[in-house]
Amino acid sequence: MHQILEDLTWRYATKKFDSEKVVSDENFEVLKESLRLTPSSYGLQPLQFVVVENKSIRNQLVAASFGQAQVQDASHLFVICIEEAIDDALIDSYVSAVIDTRNVDPERIVNYANYMKKIIGEMTNDERITWASKQAYIALGQLLHTCATMRIDATPMEGFDADRYAEILDLKTKKLRPVLVCPVGYRHQSDGMQHEKKVRRDADKLFKKM
Ligand SMILES: Cc1cc2nc3c(=O)[nH]c(=O)nc-3n(C[C@H](O)[C@H](O)[C@H](O)COP(=O)(O)O)c2cc1C
């Protein structure tokens, strides 16, 4: 089997983590860098990743996650947030980064900056939230694959109360909205889900030749 397919078959949405096993600092830095390198629409990355270490806060988050204990037992917990302020300042900061990183003449990028400002400026607030949330899902997908290649377990999670998370983590004052949660760590040997076969639609239902 191709190595990539072995990795993707090895991973599963972990239901029970071994709370004794910890992702090393070195490996955790790789996960962070994978998130940082995630592609995004226009490259704007309207995201922030909150890493919750405090176990008593994580205990409160379990209650805000329909009792899903992965939030507490995993080695580390990512809360993937979108920025609420998706405005000209976000675009200006991206444009400055392009100018600095690539040594670009500001004159050469001004039209592109104005184009992005127009597209995003014309969105309703709901459209901006939807657009930014899509970027969060791309980051989640990249994180899941990176974890799998490193034999680190992870659970993609939408099953949580975003308002309660925002309250517990004081995200409103930081102008952040939680969109996804992803505990990472190592599976508990008693988690029966690791032995279940993958349930996926057949390829002939998923792919159409034209
Ligand atoms: C966006 C998203 C949200 C999910 N939310 C949860 C969740 O809250 N809790 C959970 O246990 N699994 C959650 N899952 C896991 C899916 O149920 C799981 O990925 C799917 O059944 C396929 O199984 P596998 O990942 O083990 O191959 C979520 C998956 C995705 C992609």
* pLDDT tens column, 20-79: 999 999 999 999 999 999 999 999 999 999 999 999 999 999 999 999 999 999 999 999
CA–centroid distance, 23 to ligand 1, in Å, is: 21
What was the pLDDT predicted at 195? 97
Q: How far apart are CA 79 and CA 180, in angstroms?
A: 6
Using 50, 70 and 90 to split pLDDT, how confident is the model at 210? very high
The per-residue pLDDT for 6 is 98
Distance 93 CA to ligand 1 centre (A): 34
| Ligand 1 pocket residue status of 102, Cβ below 6 Å | no
Residue 131 near ligand 1, beta carbon < 6 Å: no
Ligand 1 pocket, residue 45 CB under 6 Å: no
Instruction: Give the β-pairing of 76-83 and 153-154.
Output: unpaired
Q: Is 209 in the pocket of ligand 1 (CB under 6 A)?
A: no
Domains in the chain, CATH or no CATH each: 3-85+125-206 (3.40.109.10)
Q: Is the CB of 157 under 6 A from ligand 1?
A: yes
Burial 172-195 (b: 16+ CB within 10 A, else e): eeeebbbbbbbbbbbbbeebeebe
Say what the pLDDT of residue 92 is: 96
- DSSP-derived 3-state class of residue 14: coil
How confident is residue 198, by pLDDT bands cut at 50, 70 and 90?
Answer: very high
pLDDT tens for each residue of 138-175: 999 999 999 999 999 999 999 999 999 999 999 999 99
Q: How many angstroms separate the CA atoms of 196 and 8, rounded?
A: 14
Identify the DSSP state of 189: T
At 70 the pLDDT is 98
C-beta of 200 in contact with ligand 1 (< 6 A) = no
Q: Is 156 in the pocket of ligand 1 (CB under 6 A)?
A: yes
Ligand 1 close to Cβ of residue 144 (< 6 A):
no
The pLDDT value recorded for residue 168 is: 98
pLDDT tens per residue, range 5-20? 999 999 999 999 999 9
Please state the atom number of ligand 1 nearest to the C-alpha of residue 15. Answer: 11
CA 93 to each of CA 7, 13, 99, 115: distance values in angstroms, whole numbers, following the listed order: 37, 36, 10, 15
Instruction: Give mean pLDDT, residues 170-188.
Output: 98
Q: What is the pTM of this model?
A: 0.97
pLDDT at site 94? 96
Q: Which pLDDT score, from 0 to 100, does residue 3 have? A: 98
Q: Please tell me the distance between residue 103's alpha carbon and the centre of ligand 1 in angstroms.
A: 42
Write down the pLDDT at residue 117: 97
142, with CB counted inside 10 A (0-12, 13-18, 19+), is middle
What was the pLDDT predicted at 1?
95
